[in-house]
């Protein structure tokens, strides 16, 4: 049985990853301009979340906290498609004004109620975050 990583490790990892993504979003947004900057910034944000998860299951934040994303089916790093789904769903909530942020909060709140500590993006991508 796969045991989920505790919140005391997931939350700091997420905070670090969000901070890194916000730096990228701010830098790209400033370089591109205000009207298209936010959308243009989603591309490197998606790549930051997608590619490391598909390759090793770890972003920088997860690596520092010694946790990783794994496939519920195999226990190994998620497939490229599963990692892209996970990242895309997480970032897609940012695109819907007001309700997207609310959906994002509900998504994170699932961590508190789910016995396996799964967010919606984990459920739909068939992934789980575990200790290394």
Mean pLDDT on 104-126: 85
Domain extent, residue 56, equals 7-131
Give how many domains the chain has, as a whole number: 1
pLDDT tens, position by position, 49-91:
999 999 999 999 999 999 999 999 999 999 999 999 999 988 8
Does 109 reside within a domain? yes
pLDDT of residue 63: 97
The predicted-structure confidence for 94-107, as pLDDT tens digits, reads as follows 777 777 778 778 87
| Residue 84 placed within a domain | yes
3-state secondary structure of 129: strand
Helices (H), the chain: 7-32, 34-55, 60-65, 80-92, 99-113, 120-125
Measure the CA–CA gap between 82 and 86, rounded to whole angstroms: 6
pLDDT at position 27 over 70: no
Q: Is residue 2 part of a domain?
A: no
Q: Decide if 1 is inside a domain.
A: no
The answer as to whether 11 is a domain residue is: yes
């Amino acid at each position: 049985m796969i045991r989920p990583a505790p919140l005391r490790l997931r939350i700091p990892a997420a905070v670090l990853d969000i901070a890194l993504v916000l730096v990228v979003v701010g830098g790209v947004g400033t370089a591109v301009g205000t009207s298209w900057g936010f959308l243009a910034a989603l591309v490197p944000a998606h790549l930051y979340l997608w590619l490391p998860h598909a390759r090793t299951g770890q972003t920088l934040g997860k690596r520092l906290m010694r946790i990783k994303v794994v496939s519920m089916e195999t226990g190994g790093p998620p497939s490229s498609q599963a990692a892209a789904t996970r990242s895309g769903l997480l970032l897609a909530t940012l695109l819907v004004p007001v309700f997207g942020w609310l959906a994002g909060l509900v998504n994170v709140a699932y961590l508190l109620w789910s016995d396996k500590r799964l967010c919606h993006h984990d459920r739909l991508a068939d992934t789980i975050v575990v200790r290394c």
